[in-house]
Amino acid sequence: DVKVTQSSRYLVKRTGEKVFLECVQDMDHENMFWYRQDPGLGLRLIYFSYDVKMKEKGDIPEGYSVSREKKERFSLILESASTNQTSMYLCASSAPGQLNEKLFFGSGTQLSVL
């Protein structure tokens, strides 16, 4: 089975801190995604990457950046955390045109910014 691993299940940070959320997948998938999940808003795409060092903005990229130096790893960076970035962050991966276009998800990181 494909495994998508997010480095932290829960994270508490202070306003203004630089925050790194890490995601690793073990199936050599080209695509990787960062979504943010908020009650009543569902999942919203922050950034995605379709290859190493390639990235595209999603629907809500403001306040975030990403890094993909290796195919298996996709990092989400909050340059200066703010309280409105308190949320659940979900990482996902997929192989374009394969596996019925299925997204494989990590278990999420619940981030609290105080």
Partner 1 sequence: AQTVTQSQPEMSVQEAETVTLSCTYDTSESDYYLFWYKQPPSRQMILVIRQEAYKQQNATENRFSVNFQKAAKSFSLKISDSQLGDAAMYFCAYKPRAAQKLVFGQGTRLTINP
Residue 42 interacts with partner 1 (CB under 8 A): yes or no: yes
Position 77 contacts partner 1 (CB under 8 A): no
Nearer to partner 1, 78 or 92 (CB): 92
Instruction: Look up residue 7 and give its amino acid.
Output: S
Alpha carbon distance 114, 111 (integer Å): 10
For partner 1, the binding residues in 4-33 under the rule CB under 8 A are 31, 33
Torsion, Cα of 20, 49, 38, 42 (10° steps) = -170
- When asked if residue 34 is in the footprint of partner 1 (CB under 8 A), the reply is no
- The DSSP 8-state label assigned to residue 51 in this structure reads E
CB-CB contact of 49 with 58 (8 Å): no
Do the Cβ atoms of 96 and 103 come closer than 8 Å? no
| 69 in contact with partner 1 (CB under 8 A) | no
Member of 19, 92, 111, 113 binding partner 1 (CB under 8 A):
92
Residues in the chain: 114
The footprint of partner 1 on this chain (CB under 8 A) covers a number of residues equal to 24
Question: Whose Cβ is closer to partner 1: residue 1's or residue 14's?
Answer: 1
Please answer whether residues 2 and 42 qualify as being in contact, where contact means their C-beta atoms are separated by less than 8 angstroms: no
Q: Which residues bind partner 1 (CB under 8 A)?
A: 31, 33, 35, 40-45, 48, 50, 58, 88, 90, 92, 94, 96, 100-103, 105, 107-108
